Amino acid sequence: MNRRQFFRSSVSAAVATSLWSPYTYGSLLQSLTQASSSINAVTGDGADLVLEKSAVQELGDSLRGQLLVSGSDGYDVARRVLNKSIDKYPALVVRPSGVADIRNAVAFARERDLLLAVKCGGHSFSGKSTCDGGMQIDLSTFRNVRVDRKARKAYVAGGSLLGEIDHECMANGLVTTAGTVSHTGVGGLTLGGGFGRVGRRFGLALDNVTGVDIVTADGQLRHASADENPDLFWGVRGGGGNFGIVTSFEFALHEMQREVVGGNVVWPLADAREVLRFYADYCAAAPDDLYLDFIMVAPPNGADPVVIIHACYSGPKDRADALLAPVTGFGKPLVSQVAAIDYVALQRSGDDSDPRSGGEYLKSGFNDGINNNLIDGLVGGFEPHNDRSTIAFFQQSGGAISRVPSASTAFAHRWASHSVFTVVAWNPTVDRDPHVRYLRNWWSEVEPSTQGFYTNEVSDEAHRTIAENYEGNFERLLEVKNRYDPTNLFRLNANIPPTVTTG
């Protein structure tokens, strides 16, 4: 073992032990940093930066939570995200035990211009919640949901997962819009939008936010609501993680029965065009309490490609049969599994089967209605492959989402009937390049029939600019960014680069 390896293993051992013994953390960190040399890191702009061991020690001493470095127990779990093709190594990982830790970590990063990533559920397709050489604040230790039944509010810690919200709210006969896979994080999903099975009834996840607590770039904890810091409140509802770390969300809740009617109807790929035309027409006439996804998927290894309509009807039970019969009775389905189901179970039903958990690459857009050009682009360019899942997805919008004026929050795409995306997901051991190339070509046939992109699904090279994407809301967003994050500390997101000059 050379000197460097010795120091690294001493660091690992010290930090790993400290995880099991929080009370001795300070002294273990002391031995860690005494044994260790300084740590190489990078700034937000990518310049080299050296983190002195005394500074790292001071940061560790300031935390009640954990400070992890390469080799520490938990470091690999923290740095990895759902997209298995992302393999990044932060210089430091902070797992906060509370808001004070988040403030200390933010101050440490800001004072050094250290690259900063914030992780909640880790579902960002392009891996925005991890980084090479920066600090990652991993909010997986920061999960809690409290429901105030009388006030119909949920108070949700900024690292919580959607399943926790559904579970706690439904236990009280209440609901708010969450996404369709329960291990998605509340932070990423809500700050950029938040489509889900009850979104057409109750609006996007962000439409239900009535306040947030947020640590901004200056390290201050602020409350943002209609009455307090209203500019920030406007910006966080659609501006993603651009303005700070949300430590707590306050959501409005709605009464809803536990039992809904939902499930999948599956047809062979050969029926794709007809099913998609039917889906387009049926969506256009659907009431707010009916939610319909369309999925075209070719699994790897030669399994038969299929098209699926996924339904969730959350309205009065006696209307379900009549509303869903046209879907279950369309053409000759291979499988038709639509039945009464517990809402929380339906919200978890895709957790293990969702193919978006290999290496993955995605392109997204919005559409208003599904015309023949869009159908041609999607179906015509769809090529199954043995080494990957190939997926096209329409997530239904409209209803209450479209009735919110587009300037009311930073989220601009109120006009859309659907969020549409194409994804390829491959076993991370195979070469990604051919699959990424294929997806870009496929998307080039779809893109002209779409507008903008979903900021929650921003790819590394956004195909449309952020300014264009926010439509009429961009200038106001820029003002909020200039005010609360003038040095662009929070840049690993669909980034709005500030334009103010800082001293």
Ligand X SMILES: Cc1cc2nc3c(=O)[nH]c(=O)nc-3n(C[C@H](O)[C@H](O)[C@H](O)COP(=O)(O)OP(=O)(O)OC[C@H]3O[C@@H](n4cnc5c(N)ncnc54)[C@H](O)[C@@H]3O)c2cc1C
| The binder of ligand X chosen from 181, 338, 410, 477 (CB under 6 A) | 181
Residues 63-92 that bind ligand X (CB under 6 A): 81-82
Residue type, 432: R
Residue type, 201: R
Residue 109 in contact with ligand X, rule: CB under 6 A = no
Q: Which of 292, 296, 300, 303 is nearest to 269 (CA)?
A: 296
Our CB check for ligand X shows the closer of 122 and 333 to be 122
Number of residues near ligand X (by CB under 6 A)? 37
Judged by CB under 6 A, which stretch of 36-44, 94-102, 175-183, 294-302 contacts ligand X? 175-183
Specify the DSSP class assigned to residue 451. Answer: B
| The binder of ligand X chosen from 129, 397, 409, 473 (CB under 6 A) | 129
Judged by CB under 6 A, which stretch of 65-73, 194-202, 307-315, 428-436 contacts ligand X? 194-202
Residue 160 in contact with ligand X, rule: CB under 6 A = no
Residues 213-242 that bind ligand X (CB under 6 A): 240-241
Residues 439-458 that bind ligand X (CB under 6 A): 456-457
Residue by residue, DSSP assigns 214-263 as: EE-TTS-EEEEESSSSHHHHHHHTTSGGGS-EEEEEEEE-EE--SEEEEE
Our CB check for ligand X shows the closer of 36 and 473 to be 473
Q: Cβ of residue 9: shortest distance to ligand X, in angstroms?
A: 30
Phi, psi of 20, deg, nearest 5: -90, -5
Judged by CB under 6 A, which stretch of 35-43, 176-184, 311-319, 432-440 contacts ligand X? 176-184
Residue 114 in contact with ligand X, rule: CB under 6 A = no
Our CB check for ligand X shows the closer of 488 and 493 to be 493
Our CB check for ligand X shows the closer of 189 and 378 to be 189
Q: Cβ of residue 180: shortest distance to ligand X, in angstroms?
A: 4
Our CB check for ligand X shows the closer of 333 and 358 to be 358
Distance separating the N- and C-terminal Cα atoms of the chain: 46
Residue 196 in contact with ligand X, rule: CB under 6 A = yes
d(CA 250, CA 333): 42
Specify the DSSP class assigned to residue 460. Answer: S
C-alpha angle with apex 201: 196 to 203, nearest 5 degrees?
Answer: 65
Residue 120 in contact with ligand X, rule: CB under 6 A = yes
Residues 303-322 that bind ligand X (CB under 6 A): none
CA distance readout (Å), 401 to 21, 78, 225, 494? 47, 34, 20, 21
Residue 492 in contact with ligand X, rule: CB under 6 A = yes
Our CB check for ligand X shows the closer of 134 and 194 to be 194
Residue 8 in contact with ligand X, rule: CB under 6 A = no
- What's the per-residue H, E or C state across 113-180? CECEEEECCCCCCCCCCCCCCCEEEEHHHCCCEEEECCCCEEEEECCCEHHHHHHHHHCCCEECCCCC
291: helix, coil or strand? strand
Contact 399, 314 (CB under 8 A): no
The sign one gets for the Cα dihedral 131, 135, 139, 141 is: positive
| The binder of ligand X chosen from 60, 96, 185, 300 (CB under 6 A) | 185
Q: Which of 159, 158, 181, 155 is nearest to 168 (CA)?
A: 155
Residue 118 in contact with ligand X, rule: CB under 6 A = yes
d(CA 329, CA 240): 40
Our CB check for ligand X shows the closer of 14 and 102 to be 102
Our CB check for ligand X shows the closer of 12 and 180 to be 180
Judged by CB under 6 A, which stretch of 187-195, 296-304, 306-314, 367-375 contacts ligand X? 187-195
Specify the DSSP class assigned to residue 33. Answer: H
User: Site residues (CB under 6 A) for ligand X?
Assistant: 81-82, 118-125, 128-129, 139, 158, 179-181, 184-185, 187-189, 191, 193-196, 240-241, 245-246, 354, 356, 456-457, 492-493
